[in-house]
Amino acid sequence: MKPTALVAGNWKMNGLMSSQAELEALAGMLKDGGDADCDVLICPPFTLVSAFASAGYAGVAIGAQDCHAAQSGAHTGDISAEMLRDAGAKYVIVGHSERRADHAETSALVQDKASAVLSEGLKAIVCVGETEAERDAGRTLDVVLSQVAESVPAAATPHNTIVAYEPVWAIGTGRTPTVADVADVHAALRRALIERFEDAGEGFAILYGGSVKPSNAKELMAADNVNGALVGGASLKAADLNGIIEAYR
Protein backbone atom coordinates (compact mmCIF):
# COMPACT_ATOMS: atom_id res chain seq x y z
CA MET A 1 0.00 0.00 0.00
CA LYS A 2 1.46 3.33 -1.06
CA PRO A 3 1.34 5.93 1.73
CA THR A 4 -0.87 8.97 1.24
CA ALA A 5 1.35 12.06 1.23
CA LEU A 6 0.67 14.78 3.80
CA VAL A 7 1.82 18.39 4.01
CA ALA A 8 1.29 19.48 7.61
CA GLY A 9 1.79 22.96 9.01
CA ASN A 10 2.87 23.24 12.65
CA TRP A 11 2.20 26.82 13.74
CA LYS A 12 3.83 26.29 17.14
CA MET A 13 3.16 29.24 19.51
CA ASN A 14 2.00 31.57 16.76
CA GLY A 15 -1.42 32.72 15.62
CA LEU A 16 -4.46 34.70 16.76
CA MET A 17 -8.08 34.68 15.65
CA SER A 18 -7.09 37.14 12.94
CA SER A 19 -4.82 34.41 11.53
CA GLN A 20 -7.91 32.72 10.17
CA ALA A 21 -7.36 34.96 7.15
CA GLU A 22 -4.30 32.84 6.27
CA LEU A 23 -6.36 29.65 6.54
CA GLU A 24 -9.02 31.15 4.28
CA ALA A 25 -6.35 32.24 1.81
CA LEU A 26 -4.82 28.76 1.81
CA ALA A 27 -8.18 27.14 1.11
CA GLY A 28 -8.64 29.52 -1.81
CA MET A 29 -5.21 28.69 -3.21
CA LEU A 30 -5.90 24.98 -2.95
CA LYS A 31 -9.13 25.45 -4.87
CA ASP A 32 -7.62 27.67 -7.54
CA GLY A 33 -4.35 25.77 -7.91
CA GLY A 34 -5.87 22.47 -8.92
CA ASP A 35 -5.70 19.07 -7.30
CA ALA A 36 -2.62 18.19 -5.29
CA ASP A 37 -1.70 14.56 -4.66
CA CYS A 38 -1.45 15.08 -0.91
CA ASP A 39 -3.54 15.81 2.16
CA VAL A 40 -3.15 19.20 3.84
CA LEU A 41 -3.16 19.83 7.58
CA ILE A 42 -2.79 22.89 9.81
CA CYS A 43 -1.96 22.47 13.52
CA PRO A 44 -2.57 25.85 15.18
CA PRO A 45 -2.30 26.62 18.91
CA PHE A 46 -4.97 25.06 21.14
CA THR A 47 -6.80 28.41 21.27
CA LEU A 48 -7.58 28.23 17.56
CA VAL A 49 -8.38 24.54 17.03
CA SER A 50 -12.14 24.83 17.58
CA ALA A 51 -12.59 28.01 15.54
CA PHE A 52 -10.50 26.72 12.64
CA ALA A 53 -12.21 23.32 12.63
CA SER A 54 -15.66 24.92 12.81
CA ALA A 55 -14.86 27.12 9.82
CA GLY A 56 -14.66 23.98 7.72
CA TYR A 57 -12.37 25.17 4.93
CA ALA A 58 -12.40 22.59 2.15
CA GLY A 59 -9.19 20.69 1.65
CA VAL A 60 -7.63 21.66 4.99
CA ALA A 61 -7.77 19.39 8.04
CA ILE A 62 -7.12 20.79 11.51
CA GLY A 63 -4.94 19.19 14.16
CA ALA A 64 -3.21 19.98 17.43
CA GLN A 65 0.41 20.21 18.52
CA ASP A 66 0.34 18.05 21.66
CA CYS A 67 -1.94 16.38 24.19
CA HIS A 68 -1.83 14.82 27.64
CA ALA A 69 -1.71 11.05 27.93
CA ALA A 70 -4.69 10.97 30.31
CA GLN A 71 -8.31 11.39 29.23
CA SER A 72 -9.10 13.82 32.06
CA GLY A 73 -8.08 14.72 35.59
CA ALA A 74 -6.10 17.12 37.76
CA HIS A 75 -3.64 18.28 35.11
CA THR A 76 -3.75 22.06 35.18
CA GLY A 77 -2.99 23.64 31.83
CA ASP A 78 -3.09 20.39 29.87
CA ILE A 79 -5.38 19.27 27.05
CA SER A 80 -6.56 15.69 26.45
CA ALA A 81 -7.01 13.93 23.13
CA GLU A 82 -10.71 13.61 23.93
CA MET A 83 -10.97 17.41 24.27
CA LEU A 84 -9.17 17.87 20.97
CA ARG A 85 -11.50 15.46 19.22
CA ASP A 86 -14.43 17.34 20.74
CA ALA A 87 -12.95 20.61 19.40
CA GLY A 88 -12.77 19.18 15.88
CA ALA A 89 -9.12 18.14 15.60
CA LYS A 90 -8.34 15.20 13.32
CA TYR A 91 -4.61 14.83 14.03
CA VAL A 92 -2.29 15.39 16.99
CA ILE A 93 1.47 15.90 16.84
CA VAL A 94 3.33 14.10 19.65
CA GLY A 95 7.01 13.95 20.53
CA HIS A 96 8.12 17.06 18.68
CA SER A 97 11.75 17.82 19.50
CA GLU A 98 10.73 21.07 21.18
CA ARG A 99 8.51 19.09 23.55
CA ARG A 100 11.25 16.52 24.13
CA ALA A 101 13.80 19.27 24.86
CA ASP A 102 11.75 21.97 26.59
CA HIS A 103 9.57 19.62 28.64
CA ALA A 104 11.92 16.64 29.04
CA GLU A 105 9.46 14.31 27.32
CA THR A 106 10.70 10.75 27.00
CA SER A 107 9.86 8.34 24.22
CA ALA A 108 7.82 6.32 26.74
CA LEU A 109 5.67 9.37 27.44
CA VAL A 110 5.37 10.10 23.72
CA GLN A 111 4.09 6.54 23.20
CA ASP A 112 1.51 7.04 25.95
CA LYS A 113 0.36 10.25 24.28
CA ALA A 114 0.18 8.58 20.88
CA SER A 115 -1.88 5.78 22.39
CA ALA A 116 -4.28 8.36 23.84
CA VAL A 117 -4.60 9.96 20.40
CA LEU A 118 -5.39 6.64 18.75
CA SER A 119 -7.91 5.72 21.44
CA GLU A 120 -9.94 8.78 20.43
CA GLY A 121 -9.95 7.83 16.77
CA LEU A 122 -7.53 10.60 15.84
CA LYS A 123 -4.32 10.32 13.83
CA ALA A 124 -0.98 10.63 15.60
CA ILE A 125 2.05 12.29 14.03
CA VAL A 126 4.98 10.85 15.97
CA CYS A 127 8.17 12.93 15.69
CA VAL A 128 11.74 11.67 15.85
CA GLY A 129 15.06 13.39 15.22
CA GLU A 130 18.66 13.81 16.31
CA THR A 131 20.47 16.82 17.75
CA GLU A 132 23.53 18.36 16.11
CA ALA A 133 25.80 16.76 18.73
CA GLU A 134 24.26 13.35 18.07
CA ARG A 135 24.67 13.82 14.34
CA ASP A 136 28.31 14.92 14.68
CA ALA A 137 28.95 11.82 16.81
CA GLY A 138 27.59 9.61 14.02
CA ARG A 139 24.60 8.53 16.10
CA THR A 140 21.77 9.72 13.82
CA LEU A 141 20.36 6.29 13.00
CA ASP A 142 20.85 4.97 16.53
CA VAL A 143 18.85 7.91 17.91
CA VAL A 144 15.98 7.98 15.42
CA LEU A 145 15.54 4.20 15.34
CA SER A 146 15.46 4.07 19.13
CA GLN A 147 12.93 6.89 19.23
CA VAL A 148 10.63 5.33 16.65
CA ALA A 149 10.78 1.93 18.38
CA GLU A 150 9.94 3.43 21.77
CA SER A 151 7.49 6.14 20.66
CA VAL A 152 5.18 4.38 18.18
CA PRO A 153 2.50 2.33 19.99
CA ALA A 154 1.65 -1.28 19.18
CA ALA A 155 -1.80 -0.18 17.98
CA ALA A 156 -0.30 1.96 15.22
CA THR A 157 -1.40 1.33 11.64
CA PRO A 158 -0.79 3.18 8.38
CA HIS A 159 -4.30 4.61 8.74
CA ASN A 160 -3.85 6.14 12.19
CA THR A 161 -0.14 6.90 12.60
CA ILE A 162 2.39 9.00 10.71
CA VAL A 163 6.09 9.26 11.49
CA ALA A 164 7.88 12.58 11.06
CA TYR A 165 11.67 12.83 10.87
CA GLU A 166 12.94 16.24 11.94
CA PRO A 167 16.67 16.66 12.51
CA VAL A 168 16.70 19.02 15.49
CA TRP A 169 19.61 21.05 14.13
CA ALA A 170 17.65 21.86 10.95
CA ILE A 171 14.46 23.16 12.59
CA GLY A 172 14.11 26.89 12.01
CA THR A 173 17.81 27.30 11.19
CA GLY A 174 17.62 27.42 7.41
CA ARG A 175 19.98 24.43 7.32
CA THR A 176 18.85 21.16 5.80
CA PRO A 177 20.58 17.81 5.38
CA THR A 178 21.30 16.70 1.85
CA VAL A 179 18.57 14.89 0.00
CA ALA A 180 20.72 11.75 0.15
CA ASP A 181 21.00 12.08 3.94
CA VAL A 182 17.22 12.47 4.26
CA ALA A 183 16.67 9.44 2.02
CA ASP A 184 19.08 7.36 4.12
CA VAL A 185 17.25 8.13 7.37
CA HIS A 186 13.82 7.59 5.81
CA ALA A 187 14.99 4.26 4.35
CA ALA A 188 16.15 3.16 7.80
CA LEU A 189 12.81 4.21 9.31
CA ARG A 190 10.96 2.30 6.59
CA ARG A 191 12.99 -0.84 7.27
CA ALA A 192 12.28 -0.53 11.00
CA LEU A 193 8.54 -0.14 10.38
CA ILE A 194 8.48 -3.15 8.06
CA GLU A 195 10.45 -5.23 10.57
CA ARG A 196 7.96 -4.36 13.30
CA PHE A 197 4.67 -4.20 11.40
CA GLU A 198 5.55 -6.52 8.49
CA ASP A 199 3.76 -5.68 5.22
CA ALA A 200 1.82 -2.86 6.88
CA GLY A 201 5.12 -1.08 7.45
CA GLU A 202 5.18 -0.20 3.74
CA GLY A 203 2.04 1.89 4.19
CA PHE A 204 3.13 4.30 6.93
CA ALA A 205 3.68 7.86 5.73
CA ILE A 206 7.07 9.23 6.78
CA LEU A 207 7.26 13.02 6.67
CA TYR A 208 10.40 15.14 6.53
CA GLY A 209 10.60 18.35 8.57
CA GLY A 210 13.34 20.90 9.14
CA SER A 211 13.55 24.18 7.20
CA VAL A 212 11.26 22.95 4.40
CA LYS A 213 10.35 25.84 2.11
CA PRO A 214 9.06 26.35 -1.44
CA SER A 215 12.59 26.52 -2.84
CA ASN A 216 13.62 23.06 -1.62
CA ALA A 217 10.30 21.23 -1.29
CA LYS A 218 10.22 19.61 -4.72
CA GLU A 219 13.67 18.07 -4.34
CA LEU A 220 13.04 16.87 -0.78
CA MET A 221 9.58 15.50 -1.49
CA ALA A 222 10.95 13.48 -4.43
CA ALA A 223 13.38 11.55 -2.21
CA ASP A 224 12.68 7.87 -1.64
CA ASN A 225 10.37 7.15 1.33
CA VAL A 226 9.59 10.84 1.85
CA ASN A 227 5.79 11.02 1.96
CA GLY A 228 5.27 14.68 2.74
CA ALA A 229 6.46 17.44 5.02
CA LEU A 230 6.00 18.73 8.55
CA VAL A 231 6.46 22.46 8.08
CA GLY A 232 7.15 25.05 10.75
CA GLY A 233 7.73 28.72 9.95
CA ALA A 234 6.84 28.41 6.27
CA SER A 235 3.34 27.24 7.20
CA LEU A 236 2.40 30.55 8.81
CA LYS A 237 1.86 32.19 5.43
CA ALA A 238 -0.60 30.65 3.01
CA ALA A 239 1.53 31.47 -0.02
CA ASP A 240 4.60 29.77 1.43
CA LEU A 241 2.75 26.61 2.42
CA ASN A 242 1.02 26.50 -0.95
CA GLY A 243 4.45 26.77 -2.55
CA ILE A 244 5.44 23.58 -0.73
CA ILE A 245 2.20 21.86 -1.74
CA GLU A 246 3.17 22.66 -5.34
CA ALA A 247 5.63 19.77 -5.08
CA TYR A 248 2.56 17.49 -5.29
CA ARG A 249 0.84 19.14 -8.24
Question: Could you tell me if residue 129 is inside a domain?
Answer: yes
Q: What CA–CA distance (Å, rounded) separates 119 from 42?
A: 21
Spatial CA neighbour of 85 closest among 102, 70, 64: 64
Question: Could you tell me if residue 90 is inside a domain?
Answer: yes
Catalytic residue among 22, 98, 105, 166: 166
Q: What CA–CA distance (Å, rounded) separates 230 from 166?
A: 8
The pLDDT tens digits for 26-85 are 999 999 988 899 999 999 999 999 999 999 999 999 999 999 999 999 999 999 999 999
* Amino acid identity, position 148: V
Question: Could you tell me if residue 91 is inside a domain?
Answer: yes
Question: Could you tell me if residue 205 is inside a domain?
Answer: yes
Question: Could you tell me if residue 127 is inside a domain?
Answer: yes
Q: What integer pLDDT is reported at residue 109 of this predicted model?
A: 98
Question: Could you tell me if residue 110 is inside a domain?
Answer: yes
- DSSP strand pairing (61-64 vs 39-43): parallel
The 8-class DSSP code of residue 159 comes to: T
Spatial CA neighbour of 119 closest among 89, 156, 151: 156
Long-range CB contacts (within 8 A, 24+) of 49-53: 49/84, 49/87, 49/88, 49/89, 50/87, 50/88, 51/17, 51/20, 52/20, 52/23, 52/88, 53/87, 53/88, 53/89
Spatial CA neighbour of 3 closest among 226, 247, 195: 226
The pLDDT tens digits for 159-214 are 999 999 999 988 878 887 899 999 999 999 999 999 999 999 999 999 999 889 99
**Is 166 annotated as catalytic?**
yes
- How many separate domains does the chain show? 1
Catalytic residue among 96, 98, 105, 186: 96
Q: Is 180 left (phi over 0), alpha (psi -120 to 50) or beta?
A: alpha
CATH number at residue 208: 3.20.20.70
Bigger pLDDT: 33 or 110? 110
Bigger pLDDT: 137 or 176? 137
Q: What integer pLDDT is reported at residue 204 of this predicted model?
A: 98
Q: What CA–CA distance (Å, rounded) separates 71 from 137?
A: 39
Structural domain including 219 reads: 6-248
Q: What CA–CA distance (Å, rounded) separates 190 from 223?
A: 13
Neighbours of 175 (CB within 10 A): 12
Question: How far is CA 185 from its chain centroid?
Answer: 16
Q: What integer pLDDT is reported at residue 9 of this predicted model?
A: 98
Q: What integer pLDDT is reported at residue 118 of this predicted model?
A: 98
Q: What integer pLDDT is reported at residue 34 of this predicted model?
A: 84
Whether the pLDDT of residue 234 is over 90: the answer is: yes
Question: Could you tell me if residue 1 is inside a domain?
Answer: no
Q: What integer pLDDT is reported at residue 164 of this predicted model?
A: 98
The pLDDT tens digits for 89-105 are 999 999 999 999 999 99
Question: Could you tell me if residue 68 is inside a domain?
Answer: yes
Q: What integer pLDDT is reported at residue 186 of this predicted model?
A: 98
